[in-house]
């Protein structure tokens, strides 16, 4: 089954291309913020809702006005896509997946999306609209054979790095089936404990660079606003943030890919990270570890490669239930890493015991469709929202 898949590469534009991209980013940001203001005012003042069709007509009129004629200097396609992105942001808000859309800022990451009629793809070279030369792309991995991008998104992060994402259709072959199943207990002391007995340590990427980041942030705060030195200090802070995020993403991708390749069924807990970060003492460590991104990667990779991801209910007492006899402790504080069952006398490692319980409950949900507690979720290949959308 063909699925849409994005391939991301580093780009090094020429000075002329940088200038055109800066203009395009600025126009996309202006159109997005303008449309957000229009939608908000129309709803609260006139009790009307504006959608992409109405905003597109208003954008055409806006480009004809004398004070905003500079919008015609860039390709019209990224501007129209900015309106579609705003519609998607409101859809995510109304469906509870995101907060209310906010205005885009100049110093944050910038992006522009080009559809097939706004770029030229020929023999592996990509030329965007309003550009005379192809982009210099670092092909860190090959595209699928005979793949033709349906859209491309070029981004510039806060550290002034340029990336391009090529959206292509690919026939992703499922991995050979096997009988292996594993339970994974996510934690802070160790990133994940597996029911096989393996424990993957928590790299703590942010904690390792926290002192360097704090020093860079103090230096940035002391610079005069609007000066070149302040801008240099800002870029240094951004590079440190990017270095932390890149290492975390690389770690999560390698671990999630290994688990998907080695196991047919992976069982995890469905954690409420949004609520957990409200704990003032653990918020920084929880944000650093990246549980949500890890589970998200497991989910879409399971769809791609024909694996099964089972999410058990977050309230299931996996840590304080004895895997051998089922005895349930009245309480088990976080500082207790090992405990002995008072019923059967078996000595447990807290995390390994939890992983074994998660595996047992997950296999029950997968085999029988039974929930030990309400809310257990089973994800079969092709059943996620991402895969359903790609198959349309």
231 assigned to active site: no
In angstroms, rounded to a whole number, what is the distance separating the alpha carbons of residues 221 and 140?
37
Active-site hit among 185, 288, 299, 303: 185
pLDDT digits (tens, 9 = 90+) for 205-259: 999 999 999 999 999 999 999 999 999 999 999 999 999 999 999 999 999 999 9
Give yes or no: residues 153 and 211 share one domain. Answer: no
State CA 185 to chain mean position distance: 21
Half-sphere exposure of 69 (CA within 13 A, CB side): 4
Report pLDDT for 372: 42
Give yes or no: residues 290 and 386 share one domain. Answer: yes
Examine residue 6 and state whether it is found in any structural domain, yes or no: yes
| Selected residue with higher pLDDT from 364 and 23 | 23
Domain boundary (151, 171, 191) is at: 171
269 assigned to active site: yes
Examine residue 164 and state whether it is found in any structural domain, yes or no: yes
Examine residue 114 and state whether it is found in any structural domain, yes or no: yes
198 assigned to active site: no
Q: Which of 194, 386, 195, 210 is nearest to 285 (CA)?
A: 210
Domain boundary (123, 142, 171) is at: 171
Say yes or no to pLDDT of 388 above 60: no
Report pLDDT for 371: 46
- How confident is residue 383, by pLDDT bands cut at 50, 70 and 90? low
pLDDT digits (tens, 9 = 90+) for 186-199: 999 899 999 998 99
Active-site hit among 288, 299, 303, 351: 351
Express as a percent the part of the chain with pLDDT over 70. Answer: 94
Residues 6+ apart with CB under 8 A from 274: none
Number of domains forming the structure of the chain? 2
- How confident is residue 377, by pLDDT bands cut at 50, 70 and 90? very low
Q: What is the pTM of this model?
A: 0.85
pLDDT digits (tens, 9 = 90+) for 331-359: 888 888 888 888 888 888 888 999 999 99
Q: Assign 3-state DSSP to the chain and report helix, strand, coil percentages, each to 5.
A: 45, 20, 35
Examine residue 354 and state whether it is found in any structural domain, yes or no: yes
Secondary structure letter of residue 172 according to DSSP: P
Mean pLDDT, residues 151-180 = 93
In DSSP terms, 4 is beta-bridged to: 169
- How confident is residue 373, by pLDDT bands cut at 50, 70 and 90? very low
- How confident is residue 327, by pLDDT bands cut at 50, 70 and 90? confident
Report pLDDT for 241: 95
DSSP per residue, 77-139:
HHHHHHHHHHHHHHHHHHTTSS-------TTS-EEEEEEGGGEEEETTEEEETT-SS---EE-
Say yes or no to pLDDT of 370 above 70: no
Active-site hit among 269, 288, 299, 303: 269
Asked whether 32 and 82 are in contact (CB, 8 A), the reply is yes
Examine residue 176 and state whether it is found in any structural domain, yes or no: no
pLDDT digits (tens, 9 = 90+) for 81-108: 999 999 999 999 999 889 999 999 998 9
State CA 53 to chain mean position distance: 29
Give yes or no: residues 163 and 188 share one domain. Answer: no
pLDDT digits (tens, 9 = 90+) for 256-280: 999 999 999 999 988 888 888 888 8
Mean pLDDT, residues 276-299 = 91
State the pairing for strand pair 137-138/2-11: antiparallel
Say yes or no to pLDDT of 63 above 50: yes
Give yes or no: residues 314 and 279 share one domain. Answer: yes
In angstroms, rounded to a whole number, what is the distance separating the alpha carbons of residues 189 and 196?
18
Report pLDDT for 82: 96
Q: Domain range spanning residue 316?
A: 181-390
Give yes or no: residues 115 and 38 share one domain. Answer: yes
Domain boundary (125, 144, 171) is at: 171
Say yes or no to pLDDT of 41 above 90: yes
Give yes or no: residues 194 and 341 share one domain. Answer: yes
Using DSSP, state whether 27 is helix, strand or coil: helix
Mean pLDDT, residues 50-58 = 94
In angstroms, rounded to a whole number, what is the distance separating the alpha carbons of residues 343 and 317?
17
pLDDT digits (tens, 9 = 90+) for 147-162: 899 999 999 999 999 9
Give yes or no: residues 242 and 138 share one domain. Answer: no
State CA 141 to chain mean position distance: 20
Q: How many CB atoms lie within 10 A of CB 65?
A: 9
């Amino acid at each position: 089954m063909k699925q849409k898949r994005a391939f991301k590469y580093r780009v090094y534009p020429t000075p002329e291309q940088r200038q055109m991209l800066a203009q395009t980013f600025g126009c996309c940001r202006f159109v997005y913020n303008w449309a957000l203001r229009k939608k908000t005012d129309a709803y609260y003042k006139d009790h009307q809702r504006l959608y992409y069709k109405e905003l597109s007509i208003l954008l055409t009129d806006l480009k004809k006005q004398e004070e905003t004629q500079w919008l015609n200097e860039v390709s019209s396609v990224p501007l129209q896509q900015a309106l579609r992105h705003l519609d998607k942001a409101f859809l995510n808000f109304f469906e509870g997946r995101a907060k209310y859309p906010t205005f885009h800022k100049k110093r944050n990451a910038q992006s522009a999306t080009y559809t097939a009629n706004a770029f030229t793809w020929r023999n592996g070279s990509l030329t965007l609209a309003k550009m005379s030369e192809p982009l210099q792309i670092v092909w860190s991995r090959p595209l699928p054979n005979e793949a033709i991008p349906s859209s491309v998104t070029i981004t510039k992060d806060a550290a002034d790095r340029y990336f391009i994402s090529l959206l292509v259709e690919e026939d992703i072959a499922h991995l050979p089936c096997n009988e292996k199943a594993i339970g994974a207990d996510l934690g802070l002391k160790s990133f994940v404990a597996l029911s096989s007995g393996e424990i993957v340590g928590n790299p703590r990427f942010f904690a390792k660079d926290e002192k360097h980041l704090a020093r860079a942030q103090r230096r940035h705060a002391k610079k005069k606003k609007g000066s070149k030195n302040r801008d240099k200090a800002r870029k240094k802070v951004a590079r440190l943030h990017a270095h932390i995020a890149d290492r975390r993403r690389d770690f999560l991708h390698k671990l999630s890919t290994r688990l998907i390749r080695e196991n047919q069924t992976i069982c995890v807990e469905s954690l409420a990270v949004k609520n957990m970060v409200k704990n003032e003492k653990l918020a920084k460590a929880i944000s650093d570890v990246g549980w949500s991104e890890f589970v998200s990667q497991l989910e879409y990779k399971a769809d791609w490669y024909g694996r099964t991801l089972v999410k058990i209910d977050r309230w299931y007492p996996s840590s304080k239930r004895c895997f051998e006899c089922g005895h349930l402790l009245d309480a088990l504080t976080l500082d207790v890493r090992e405990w002995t069952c008072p019923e059967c006398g078996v000595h447990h490692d807290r995390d390994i015991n939890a992983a074994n319980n998660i595996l047992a409950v997950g296999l029950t949900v997968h085999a029988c469709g039974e929930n030990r507690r309400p809310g257990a979720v089973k994800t079969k290949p092709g059943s996620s929202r991402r895969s359903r959308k790609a198959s349309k």
